[in-house]
Amino acid sequence: MRPLVFLRKTPSIDFMSMHKLGFAFSSFLGVLSIVMFLAWGLNYGIDFKGGILIEARSTNGPANLAEMRQKLDALHLGETSLQGFGQPSDVLIRLAEQPGGDKAQEAAQEKVRQALGQGIEFRRVEVVGPKVGDELIRAGTIATILALLAIAVYVWFRFEWQFGVGAMISTLHDVITTVGLFAVLRLEFNLTTLAAILTIAGYSINDTVVIYDRVRESMRKYKTMDLKTLINLSLNETLSRTILTVSTVALAVLSLLIFGGEVLRGFSIAMLWGIVIGTYSSLFIAAPLLYYIRPKRGSEAKKPTETGAAAERAS
């Protein structure tokens, strides 16, 4: 059985001629993301800022969100949000944390039950305090940093330290721009989004490692080829695989975005953005960085005729 190949003939796209533009664009995205994060912050969900999360289901057919929202607003419990998810009868209710400790949270839950009436079944209730939210933010930040360091160490061990630096910079770029996207669009940032960011880091490094492996293979094969030409050759040789991978993953994530409901909306948006930016960073950041940090090329070929033949085959 023949493998699936998207591009029957290896293209000859000059990626390296565009790498400076890619660096500039990535720098702009990175700075913008950091500025927006510092200026606006993130729209933290209940997982991080604390509050009450209620999963409810209407027993009388599809839930009337407008009517339910009107009843809850009349309780004056602070910030309240309702989202449909799953079946038309399913509703996710979020309430701001109530002052007064655990008893105040229980009292707020009871008020909601009475206001919504017997036609609503409470399937799950979670209460998250601000202290727990702070701990989750700290733990999430540490987890992301450790993941980036582990990726760099793995690539360093698998290839050389120059490859590890390139991989960590490109993956850090993907993480920062994803956080910036949520800061700009004011999308809810919760534990599911954090899981998406860690998944993006894994996806991005997988694509980068495939390209790096081809670069290393080409370095052994064409020992005196100009490094810029060699990187272009490696990127073009792996382009078919890159397109197939990003297409199949994007289709799966689009299905989650369209059919997954409000609960998976943030995760799906983060993943979709991560797929695009991760592929871009592998092509225009991770690989071109090798041209500047110059990994070891090994010993030069002794016979010029062999080197010339190899360069002729690559052209």
Q: What is the DSSP string of 207-236?
A: HHHHHHHHHHHHHHHSTTS-HHHHHHHHHH
Q: What is the pLDDT of residues 244-297, one digit of tens each?
A: 888 888 999 998 888 876 667 888 999 999 999 999 998 999 989 988 888 776
Identify the band that residue 108 occupies on the pLDDT scale cut at 50, 70 and 90: confident
- Burial grade of 2 (CB within 10 A; 0-12, 13-18, 19 or more): exposed
Residue matched to tokens 């969900």: 45
Torsion sign, CA atoms 301, 307, 310, 315: positive
Is residue 305 pLDDT above 50, yes or no?
no
The token pair at 197 is: 């960011």
pTM: 0.74
Q: CA-CA distance, 261 to 274, in Å (whole number)?
A: 19
Of 61, 111, 110, nearest in space to 87 by CA = 61
Torsion sign, CA atoms 223, 226, 230, 236: negative
Beta bridge partners of 53: 94, 126
Is residue 299 pLDDT above 50, yes or no?
no
**Superfamily name with CATH number, domain 15-43+132-297:** Multidrug efflux transporter AcrB transmembrane domain (1.20.1640.10)
The token pair at 128 is: 């998250």
More confident of the two residues 71 and 254 = 254
The token pair at 268 is: 């799906």
Q: CA-CA distance, 245 to 88, in Å (whole number)?
A: 34
Beta bridge partners of 189: 44
The token pair at 305 is: 């005729």
| pLDDT at site 35 | 94
Q: What is the pLDDT of residues 146-178, one digit of tens each?
A: 888 888 888 888 888 888 888 889 989 999 999
Query: Mean pLDDT across the chain, nearest whole number?
Result: 81
247-248-251 Cα angle (round to 5): 85
Average the pLDDT over each of 25-39, 130-144, 235-249 and give the range with the smallest value. 130-144
Which ranges in the chain are annotated with CATH 1.20.1640.10?
A: 15-43+132-297
Identify the band that residue 37 occupies on the pLDDT scale cut at 50, 70 and 90: very high
The token pair at 216 is: 């290393």
Q: CA-CA distance, 187 to 196, in Å (whole number)?
A: 13
Q: What is the 8-class DSSP label of residue 110? A: H
Which ranges in the chain are annotated with CATH 3.30.70.3400?
A: 51-128
Question: For 78-103, what is the mean pLDDT?
Answer: 78
Q: What is the pLDDT of residues 200-212, one digit of tens each?
A: 888 888 888 889 8
Q: Are 284 and 26 in contact (CB under 8 A)?
A: yes
| pLDDT at site 267 | 87
Question: For 128-151, what is the mean pLDDT?
Answer: 79
Is residue 313 pLDDT above 60, yes or no?
no
Domain 51-128 of CATH type 3.30.70.3400: yes
More confident of the two residues 210 and 49 = 210
Q: What Rg, from alpha-carbon coordinates, does the chain have?
A: 25
